[in-house]
Amino acid sequence: MTDEVGWHTRQLQAALRERGAVGRCVDLADCRIDTALSWHGLALPGFGRELPDAVLVRGIAGGSFEQVTKRLGVLHALRELGVPVYNDARAIERSVDKSMTSLLLHAARVPAPPTWATESPAEAQRIVTRESAAGHALVLKPLFGSQGKGLQRVGLVDGVHQPLSALEAGLAYLQRFIEPVTKPGFDWRVLVVGGRAVSAMRRISEHWIHNVAQGARCEAAALTPELASLAERASQALDMDYAGVDLMPSAHGAPIQVIEVNGVAAWQGLQRVSAFNIARAIVADLFERKLAACASARRA
């Protein structure tokens, strides 16, 4: 499932071909519910009345609340119909909602910065004031944000007070800002496939936002036991088949912090600094673990 055909889909199709399988690109936006068509009621372009053997979710376009609900509904329905969905809709939902990610990381005792989500502007203001008084800046993030877009620092930023403006979405998702430990600062992206961390890179930028889409440069990074273990625990907390985990170093010997878990992670930047083919690793895990687990669940 992808809303974009390009490098990633070509990589996946090649990896599938190597295993004698055919990968077809389907946009969830083009999938329909049609109860007059077939017993299962799903209509996937190019599949007629049939269902795919497995679904790998690579991209979901943004849309209205109704559109996104239907798109995720199709993924839920596929799972209920016994089709293995690689990153199940439930896992994608948990990671797309950053506040749910924070809650689940907290429940799993994965080190992550203190985080708040509130619909009350007054409560948000109180959090900013309290954190400022304690010397902390906060990051105000869009709940469904990605690629480093729409992030804002508020509170005590470099010694200057940045006020919280009106909450556009009617919700404040606030996270304590992790001060950089180096100049320029960096974070890590670790890819977890089938529960195992497989590759890591550093994203380095003069800007405090370290996304590649915001101009950060990528460098290979050693997958240390600490990084691997944290990324794996984060991926497990959200029940991901594959996940791109963002982590940041913290000062004064504090543990590495998990910032975000991406359920529809891109890996083009990571591939450039990885010695093995990532699409092949993903497809191998889909075949050897996920398909096998679904087949044995069906037999039981």
Ligand X SMILES: Nc1ncnc2c1ncn2[C@@H]1O[C@H](COP(=O)(O)OP(=O)(O)O)[C@@H](O)[C@H]1O
Q: How many residues bind Mg ion, per CB under 5 A?
A: 2
Residue 188 is a binding residue for ligand X (CB under 6 A): no
Q: How many residues bind ligand X, per CB under 6 A?
A: 22
Residue 140 and residue 196 in contact, taking contact as beta carbons nearer than 8 Å? no
Residue 187 is a binding residue for ligand X (CB under 6 A): yes
CA distance 203 to 220: 9
Binding segment for Mg ion (CB under 5 A), chosen from 67-75, 114-122, 178-186, 238-246, is 238-246
Out of 246, 247, 249, 256, the residue judged to bind Mg ion by CB under 5 A: 246
User: What residues contact residue 54 under an 8 Å CB cut-off, 6+ apart?
Assistant: 83, 84, 85, 86, 286, 290, 291, 294
Of 230, 273, 274, 266, give the one whose Cα is nearest residue 249. 230
Binding segment for Mg ion (CB under 5 A), chosen from 34-42, 81-89, 232-240, 257-265, is 257-265
Site for Mg ion in 153-212 (CB under 5 A): none
CB of 246 to Mg ion, least distance (A): 4
Q: Which does 108 bind (CB under 5 to 8 A by kind): ligand X, Mg ion, none?
A: none
Residue 246 is a binding residue for ligand X (CB under 6 A): yes
Name residue 116's beta-bridge partners: 174
Instruction: Tell me what percent of the chain is helix, strand and coil, each rounded to the nearest 5.
Output: 35, 20, 45
Site for ligand X in 204-233 (CB under 6 A): 208-211
Note the residues at the interface with ligand X (CB under 6 A).
113, 139, 141, 145-149, 151, 175-178, 187, 208-211, 246, 248, 259-260
The residues of the shown chain that bind Mg ion, judged by CB under 5 A, are 246, 260
